[in-house]
Chain A
């Protein structure tokens, strides 16, 4: 059962355009992370959000955690070819002592020069 659905699955845009990627679930998470993965490499953490409604900015990237802690969005302003990659959201659950994450289905972004 996939608990985190991302949309869109694929996105091809021109340099300079804006875009938003969504990460949705019916489950509540204690934290939500976004990773970016480039071809042939492992995912690399971009940001962690832990408070409902929290907004974090990382240069041209804006991340938001939903008020109910069930969803998140990633907005990229003026996309550049260097933003190309697979974007993965990942949710952390309350309780336990394992730090396990549940990963979303992924959004493959291609930014054309």
Chain B
């Protein structure tokens, strides 16, 4: 049982380049989330999904797109990377229902130059 996995672990992009971050979970969770973590700001929600084929905007969605074609996978895309998107990105998942416990992946460190 791998839990939540993220690929890649590290990436360096040049301004204007695009990339996709992959999140996979093997716990049959309905809900999945993408966060970014910046110093002194905790975790901020980018986009989330409450089920296969559904996505919604979070607190800081600009410059990002997401897709949830399969229940176990949640993809985060950057179409035209900007230096302001330099951050550590975390994916999380949880069960449907009243429990708010979230299970996190190990993160992806992205640098945009």
Q: A residues near B, CB below 8 A?
A: 2, 4, 6, 9, 31, 33, 40-45, 48, 88, 90, 92, 97-101, 103-106
Contacts and interface: CB of A to CB of B under 8 A. Distances in A.
Interface stretch (B12-20, B70-78, B79-87, B98-106): B98-106
A105 B47 CA distance: 19
Contact of A99 (B31, B105, B106): B31
Q: Which of A6, A90, A99, A100 has the most CB of B within 10 A?
A: A99
A91 B67 CA distance: 26
A6 B48 CA distance: 25
A98 B42 contact: no
Contacts, number: 65
A101 B100 contact: yes
Contacts of B50: 97-98
Interface residues of B, number: 28
A45 B35 CA distance: 16
Contacts of B101: 33, 45, 48
Contact of B58 (A31, A44, A100): A100
A41 B103 CA distance: 12
Nearest to B92: A42
A100 B105 contact: no
B40 A31 contact: no
B94 interface: yes
A2 B38 CA distance: 13
Contacts of B35: 103
A45 B93 CA distance: 12
A22 to B, nearest CB: 14
A104 B40 CA distance: 9
Contacts of B21: none
Nearest to A30: B100
A44 B100 contact: no
B113 to A, nearest CB: 22
B100 A42 contact: no
B99 A4 contact: no
A8 to B, nearest CB: 12
B4 A103 contact: no
A106 B42 contact: yes
